[in-house]
Chain A
């Protein structure tokens, strides 16, 4: 039950975009068409599902203080946490490369639409952010897996909704300075306000 609650909380209340502003770059850049947004969203969910538990294991068995004792008792008290950023980003970059190869093989059409943005998932802050939050909040492995998947789903939900709104707004007449980024920011703010209504939701 706790896991279900954690999932709901990470999708709606602690939404990656509306609560933590993570992954804004691709969120703003790839939200012009719903179909592309769904593709990128699915890729992010997939990557997050793998990355967060993978980084959990790295943190637990390599980086944490005295974590390497499973190798030999002489590593007692060794703390490799200063290597955290480099380890995490290396794992993320490798994993994204893998996803890119899989997508290219399985669905060339999707690969064509995602184009440049697929490798950019590696520098999507939502991915690294989830990994760092997972460490900060001391999740267990099961919690980490649920957290990764559901924050991915939350991110996908946000980008698909924004893309749908932007498709409608394409032909409206807005002040030239607000066109594009400015208007998107305001829409995101209003969507965030709507998402605020989920606060306190629990099973």
Chain B
């Protein structure tokens, strides 16, 4: 975009004051507003990481599309994985309003220079995993994302509104899938419980390290990029999920999990933070496989991108000649 009208540049302090006042009034910052470098950097990192998570998140469930047990489940899973792609694209589009370059972001993901959510580095061993991912992982994502609809950066907040609308289908299809399996054979019920056991702790880790150990949280809260701390959101997820587990008839694998009347919340055990560090650090069960898959998809798709560019150039050229003649 080009600017047709240029005002005299106000001094740095005035700009900072205006920015702070906008945040204080709970108004949105828009792409062309002045913003501190730290704000921009934090947003690009968070939005890119979020976009990468959606794109990598297509893989664990995508593996089950060809093996879905019915046409109905296949169509649903297809739609869900397509949504994840869409969510990634909304978010990349938001990151680009901050000056990030799409190709550069893809490059950073493939080269492991930018992260994605640790949860997608775990394998999907049975079809029950598809249900549990919808229930836990998308449920956790909803806890994280609903407050982000009020994030201070306009394009990010607007992308989150679209995403949250769609995410609700993701969670519900997962829970419905599990309810169906729980009405099935003993073996099917055991598959559900096994998937719950494997995904519960990694899902709690999705909210990130505990508040005392979360280096970027304070600044993000002050800038209203984030609205709640990791521990607050984790608590909300536990409180939300416990009654759903009871209704479903599965046990959450935490002996310390119980209702605390005084707090008005559930108490629960401590996730293995060393595992989270390991998985984020690249040493999870599927890290290498996920990045490699993304790389090969990108590289094997290069000829399509190039062909489309060549086709567009040829068409434009023909149109020009046509008008000239």
Q: Does A associate with B in a complex?
A: no
Tell me the A residues contacting B by CB distance below 8 Å. Answer: none
Tell me the B residues contacting A by CB distance below 8 Å. Answer: none
